[in-house]
Amino acid sequence: MKDFQASQKNNINDLQLIEKIRNGDYRAFRLLFETYHTPLCNFSVSYVSQYVIADDIVQEVFIKIWEKRRKLFISGSVKSYLYTAVKNHSLNRLKSEAIRQEHTHLFSVIQDESIVDSEIELEEFRNYLFQCIEQLPPRCKDVFLESRFKGSKQEMIANTYDITVKTVKAQIGKALKMLKDCLQISYPEYF
C-alpha cells in the first residue's frame, strides 16, 4: 500500500512538474531531467547497448519535451510517458543504424565491384596497348620499348642500335603517333 501511495505522490509531483514545464519553468524541467536521466539511460542501454548513445537518446527526448512544452499533455503517468518515449527513440535509433549499415555495406559492395570493373578495364587497355605495340615496325618497336619500358636514355639507345640520337627521337615520335592512331580506334574517349 505504501508503494502505491508513493507512486501516486510521484505521479502528482511529476504531473505538477509537467504543468510547470508547460508554463516555461526551467527549474521544473531540470528537476524532471535530474530525476529520470540516469534510470532512462540505463533503460535505453538495454536496447542500444552503449551508454553514450543511450545518453544522447535521453537528452533528445528531454529536448523535445522542452521544445514542445506548450503542446505537452500527459494525462497518465509521466514516468510511463518518459520510458515509452525513450523506448521509441531507442528503437528508431536502431532502425536508422541498421539502415545506415545496410547502405554502407551496399556502397562498399558497389565500390568493390567498381574497383574490379576498373581493374578489368585497365587490363583490357593494357592488352590492347601491347597489341598496338606489336604492330609497330621492328626497329621502331625496339627503340620505343627501350625508351618507355626499360627507361633507357636516348644516347644509350643510339649506341645500342648504332643509330643517331636524332633517329632515336624520330623512332619514338613515330611509335607514339602510330600508337595514338591504333588506340584511338578502340579508345576514342581518351583522345
Low-confidence ranges of the chain (pLDDT < 50): 1-9
In a domain, 16, yes or no: yes
Phi, then psi, of 136 in degrees rounded to 5: -70, 150
CB atoms within 10 A of CB 172: 18
pLDDT at residue 9, as a whole number:
43
- Residue 188 has a pLDDT of 82
Condensed to tens digits (0 to 9), the pLDDT of residues 78-94 reads: 999 999 999 999 998 88
Which pLDDT value is given to residue 113? 64
Q: What pTM does this model have?
A: 0.47
Domain boundary among 54, 81, 103: 103
Instruction: Give residue 105's pLDDT.
Output: 65
- pLDDT at position 109: 62
The CATH number of whichever domain residue 144 belongs to comes to 1.10.10
From 103, 125, 147, the end of a domain falls on: 103
Q: What does the alpha-carbon distance between residue 100 and residue 26 come to, in Å, rounded to a whole number?
A: 36
Phi-psi region of 162 (alpha: psi -120 to 50; beta: other; left: phi over 0): left
Calculate the dihedral angle through the C-alpha atoms of 154, 157, 162, 163, rounding to the nearest 10 degrees: -40
Could you tell me if residue 62 is inside a domain? yes
Last residue of a domain, one of 103, 125, 160: 103
